[in-house]
Structure 1
Amino acid sequence: VKFCEYYYSDLIPDLSTAKSPQQMLGALVKTYYAQAKGIDPGKIISVAIMPCTAKKFECQRPEMNSAGVLQGKPEMRDVDYVLTTRELARLIKRQKIDLNALEDASYDRLMGEGTGAGVIFGATGGVMEAAIRGAYYIITHEDPPEALLNLTPVRGLESVKEATVTIPGVGPLSVAVCHGLKNARTILDEVRAGKSRWQFIEF
């Protein structure tokens, strides 16, 4: 988003209005979860563990306080802190925690259940794949076919991956997943020039 704001501000209206998974969960923790557990959201410290250092900046963006705004506390952040996966690994090592010695435990029942789409959400191409599955179900009122449950052409770390999916009542959709800012610049230049062949692009 920041890259687009700096270099392609004319394309901002074309960006998805959905928050990132990090910010979605942060807002839910301080609204739905807090209410269900009877916890004052102001006493919740939300820490996200993410692979990307940009997430540290993201959680501090002024608009990332929707849970606080909803509750009349605009100073309350949806996500308070972000640790990278490397920072978490260093903390575990520093505290001499042996993960193999810990007992297995199940997820908390509330907010601890997942879906197949949720599992792939954090993978490159996962957001787009999950969105297509959801759109298919909403439009057709049917579960997506096997081809949409395993959209392998858009997975992986190649520079640009693409596929065509067909949704009854909508027709074929050309989708792409772009990996890396260098490739993003090339694709966004095509979008700006009106030469893009894709209807859905995940960066």
Structure 2
Amino acid sequence: MTYVQENDPMDGYIRLRREQPDLFRNEEGSGAIDIVDPSQAPANAGALGLVYQDPYLRLLRDPVRFPDGRLGTYLRILSTADAPSGAILPVVNGRILLLENYRHAIRAWTLEIPRGFGTDGLTAESNALKELDEELSARVESITPIGTVHPDTGLHSQLVHLFFARLTATGPLETAAGIRSLVTFTPDELDRKIIDGTITDGFTLAALTQARLRHLL
């Protein structure tokens, strides 16, 4: 994948508006937050446009009009890659597998299902299988799509595909990615971990909900 880091945030922003206008659409009717022309931003708005970009994400600071008529700015994160990313709820012999993973953003260890950015050229399911292989060295018996989730609609536009996977075995973990161990739970044990606040990862909670509603657990 190639990308360009702009010296002027507005250069990349203008090009993005031209090449992907759907990212800047406004909903008809009242009540929505509209993206406006940068010339309408308040004088003290600060930097606008494509303020950061790397191979994984773009950070945009849009000029907007709020429903009450005020003009201001709003941050949002877009995925740089077009490849579908995935998160997978893996099960072996009726036990749910979670990774003990260190997450830099919260500076803490979490218990969560495998997930990852998509790879260009692969389908959502192929990316999910790739993650299981890389993180768990998993032998997969079956994999089932169980919907999608927006991880943070207040900031991130990303749509993540969820899967339920039955495994026959796992192998070495991808420790270089911050994974410390693999922990297994019965569904009832996992429920208690959710109630007591041990498990807070949104992908894990969304996948568990989908799997239960589809009677897979």
User: TM-score, with normalisation over the residues of structure 2?
Assistant: 0.25
Structure with greater strand percent: 2
Compare CA radii of gyration and give the structure with the larger one.
Answer: 2
User: TM-score, with normalisation over the residues of structure 1?
Assistant: 0.26
| Larger relative contact order (CA 8 Å, sep ≥ 6) | 2
